[in-house]
């Protein structure tokens, strides 16, 4: 299904030559066409991550994932998961080819539709993949959509994205950082310790260990405007992880109108990915070991 099946990609002529553009269309999950290898990749990753995440992932993540009925046996059918999801929070999964243009993505979220990449990585890509695949999207993002508070946060984010898109590119940069440091790479305080809820972490074995146990990264308390100013890493572990106290905190902190915030942030410099500020609530100041100087985006 992966290497053998051509993806629906169009090519668009730009000043860099022809570049691939994934179709924005919603596609039916071609479930019957997954190969035994595809199901094995799912099974291997699923078993490996469930094990690594015991005691590391948020209890709510582990609970919702089990409640949805995701199992290692075979790649789940979106239709089956959708029955649970619709009943729990009114969200539904839609299949897509891969990364979507920003506005299309925001529009899905604003309507409580979560786009899931239908294809899964190849066996030689178990540890790292530079773009989202089915494992990242389904295993990482979908469980917490069963939680009513997190489900609302995701929809509000989509609505906020449509709005930021109308304001301009700088606003979108600020908003994207918020998504990165919460939805993708967030940590949460639970039972007196730190746990993972970010999908970019829970779908990676090595980062699941690194983000909690390594001395290298900073671990800093959630602060909305601070996060919206902070650059991040796309090709290495994060230099900084931000910690929320509860899922409610996400809703409460993001309830205000962001328009004046974007205006204020436009006059301030961005913060390097690894910086620690005097105003930060520091759970751990990172040793910085292994950090690359360049490459914050
Ligand atoms: N309150 C934000 C706004 O006015 C919307 C938002 C909510 C953004 C939740 C992100 C997360 O733009
Ligand atoms: Fe993601």
Question: Do 60 and 196 touch, CB atoms closer than 8 A?
Answer: no
How confident is the model at residue 5, as a pLDDT? 43
CATH numeric code, 9-284:
1.10.800.10
Ligand 1 site residues, Cβ closer than 6 angstroms: 156-157, 160, 163, 178, 254-258
Res. 15 pLDDT band, cuts 50 70 90: low
Q: Which residues pair with 284 in a beta bridge?
A: 219
**In this structure, are residues 108 and 115 in contact, taking their beta carbons and an 8 Å threshold?**
yes
Number of helices (H), then strands (E), in the chain: 12, 9
Q: Which residues are annotated as a binding site for Fe cation?
A: 136, 141, 184
* pLDDT surpassing 70 at residue 14: no
Measured at the CA of 133, the angle between CA 209 and CA 129, to 5 degrees, comes to: 55
Q: What is the pLDDT of residue 4?
A: 40
Q: Which two three-digit tokens encode residue 166?
A: 């109308």
Tokens describing residue 202: 């829970």
Ligand nearest to the CA of 204: 2
Distances (CA, A) of 41 to 72, 197, 234: 10, 23, 24
Q: DSSP readout, 186-201?
A: -EEEETTEEEE--HHH
Domain map of the chain by residue range? Answer: 9-284
- Complex ipTM: 0.97
Cα(278) to centroid(ligand 2), Å: 31
For 139-191, write each residue's pLDDT tens digit.
999 999 999 999 999 999 999 999 999 999 999 999 999 999 999 999 999 99
Q: Are 188 and 244 in contact (CB under 8 A)?
A: yes
Tell which phi-psi region holds residue 22, choosing left (phi > 0), alpha (psi between -120 and 50) or beta. beta
Q: What is the mean pLDDT of residues 43-72?
A: 96
Annotated binding site: 136, 141, 184
Ligand having the closest approach to the CA of 260: 1
Tens of pLDDT, residues 177-194: 999 999 999 999 999 999
**How far is Cα 137 from Cα 67, in angstroms, rounded to an integer?**
17
Q: Round the average pLDDT of the chain to a whole number and report it.
A: 93
Instruction: Report d(CA 270, CA 200) in Å as an integer.
Output: 23
- CA nearest ligand 1 atom 11, residue: 157
Residue 127 CA from chain centroid, whole number? 17
């Amino acid at each position: 299904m992966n290497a053998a099946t051509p993806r629906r990609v169009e090519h668009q002529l730009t000043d860099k030559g022809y570049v691939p553009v994934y179709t924005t269309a919603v596609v039916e999950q071609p479930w019957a066409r997954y190969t035994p290898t595809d199901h094995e990749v799912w099974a291997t990753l699923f078993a490996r991550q469930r094990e690594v995440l015991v005691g590391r992932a948020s209890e709510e993540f582990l609970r919702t994932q089990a409640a949805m009925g995701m199992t290692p046996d075979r790649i789940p059918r979106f239709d089956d998961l959708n029955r649970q999801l619709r009943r729990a929070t009114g969200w539904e999964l839609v299949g897509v080819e891969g990364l979507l243009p920003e506005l299309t993505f925001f529009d899905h979220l604003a309507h409580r539709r979560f786009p899931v990449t239908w294809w899964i990585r190849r066996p030689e890509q178990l540890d790292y993949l530079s773009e989202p695949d089915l494992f990242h999207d389904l295993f990482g993002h979908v469980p917490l959509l069963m939680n009513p508070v997190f489900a609302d946060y995701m929809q509000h984010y989509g609505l906020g994205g449509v709005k930021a898109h109308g304001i301009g590119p700088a606003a979108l940069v600020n908003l994207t950082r918020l998504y990165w440091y919460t939805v993708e790479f967030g940590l949460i305080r639970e039972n007196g310790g730190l746990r993972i809820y970010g999908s970019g972490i829970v779908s990676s074995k090595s980062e699941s260990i690194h983000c909690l146990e390594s001395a290298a990264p900073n671990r800093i308390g959630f602060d909305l405007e601070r996060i919206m100013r902070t650059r991040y890493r796309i090709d290495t572990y994060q230099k900084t992880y931000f910690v929320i106290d509860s899922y409610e905190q996400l809703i409460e902190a993001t309830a205000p109108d962001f328009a004046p915030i974007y205006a204020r942030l436009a006059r301030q410099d961005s913060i390097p990915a690894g910086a620690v500020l005097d105003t930060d609530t520091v759970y751990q100041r990172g040793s910085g070991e292994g950090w690359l100087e360049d490459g914050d985006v």
